[in-house]
């Protein structure tokens, strides 16, 4: 599951290059996580209002701990800047010593040190002259309890063809991110997106859905133009016959994945070629 970071940095709220928590999931990702029992749907406003309520002493301890961590972060940043400054000054002294040819000082010449700015005492970072760095908690405290079956919210609405294709590709070990920039449902990666480029542009369709030939040609040309394959797929209605007919075309891993699932999905890859 990849998701999309939508949170900005506390120190730079206007930038949109390096985003962080919260993490927004696609409807297909959220549905699959709930089906596997790894997550649940919750009303963010209500559950934080009712469940995350600390007593006065607990809230005071939490604020004190957060303030202590913020001060420690600020001290570490100031210390790092001081070390970097000392390293730069040391390199400048070494460079001046190498470039200078005569290191003797003439007593008749005025002392240049009189005109240098006075060096004050080193100011060590303390809690009184530091501005605490704001920190964004990455976990809820205390953890949000799962709701009961009666109060659980329904699953998000998903497109049935795209969800069938998403579940099939996820079971086969692929990673998927939103494919809006390429005009498709998903960008499909063979592994970690930090290590691989996407290999396919995936579109989900119903098995008996008619697809415009211009969409196939345009998708194939688009995929080839960005060095990817245009992948279409859908759930087979008569899965028993389809499994018998296509058993020879599936590798061992795909066959194991299909036996473990309650539906059968076939995929086709389209590429554009020309002379």
Catalytic, 133? Answer no
Catalytic residue (one of 168, 174, 189, 205)? 189
Say how far apart CA 69 and CA 131 lie, in whole Å.
Answer: 12
Exactly one of 63, 79, 84, 197 is catalytic; which is it? Answer: 197
What is the CB neighbour count within 10 angstroms for residue 31?
20
Q: Is 244 helix (H, G, I), strand (E, B) or coil?
A: helix
The yes-or-no answer on residue 189 being catalytic is yes
* Catalytic position from the list 170, 205, 228, 264: 228
Could you give the CA distance from residue 101 to residue 178 in angstroms, rounded to a whole number?
64
Neighbours of 89 (CB within 10 A): 10
Q: Is 197 a catalytic residue?
A: yes
**Which runs of E-coded beta strand occur in the chain?**
4-7, 20-24, 175-178, 186-189, 200-204, 229-235, 265-270
DSSP state of 51: T
Distance CA 95, CA 267 (A): 65
Catalytic machinery residues:
189, 197, 228
């Amino acid at each position: 599951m990849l998701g999309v970071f939508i949170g900005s940095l506390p120190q730079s709220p206007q930038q949109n290059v390096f985003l962080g928590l919260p993490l927004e999931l696609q409807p297909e990702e959220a549905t699959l996580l709930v089906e596997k029992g790894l997550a649940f749907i919750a009303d963010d406003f209500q559950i934080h209002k009712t469940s995350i309520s600390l007593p006065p002493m607990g809230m005071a301890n939490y604020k004190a701990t957060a303030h202590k961590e913020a001060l420690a972060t600020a001290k570490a940043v100031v210390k790092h800047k001081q070390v970097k400054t000392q390293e730069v000054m040391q390199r400048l002294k070494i460079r001046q010593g190498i470039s200078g040819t005569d290191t003797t000082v003439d007593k008749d010449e005025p002392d240049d040190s009189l005109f240098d700015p006075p060096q004050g005492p080193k100011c060590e970072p303390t809690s009184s002259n530091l501005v605490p760095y704001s920190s964004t908690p990455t976990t809820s405290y205390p953890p949000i309890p799962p709701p009961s079956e009666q109060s659980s919210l329904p699953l998000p609405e998903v497109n049935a063809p795209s969800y069938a294709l998403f579940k099939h590709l996820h079971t086969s070990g692929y990673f998927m991110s939103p494919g809006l920039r390429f005009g498709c449902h998903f960008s499909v990666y063979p592994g970690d997106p930090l290590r691989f480029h996407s290999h396919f542009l995936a579109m989900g369709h119903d098995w008996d859905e008619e697809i415009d030939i211009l969409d196939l040609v345009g998708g194939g040309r688009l995929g080839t133009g960005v060095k990817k394959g245009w992948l279409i797929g859908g759930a087979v209605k008569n899965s028993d016959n389809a499994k018998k007919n296509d058993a020879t075309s599936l590798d061992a891993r795909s066959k194991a994945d299909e036996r473990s699932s309650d539906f059968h999905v076939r995929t086709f890859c389209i590429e554009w070629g020309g002379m």
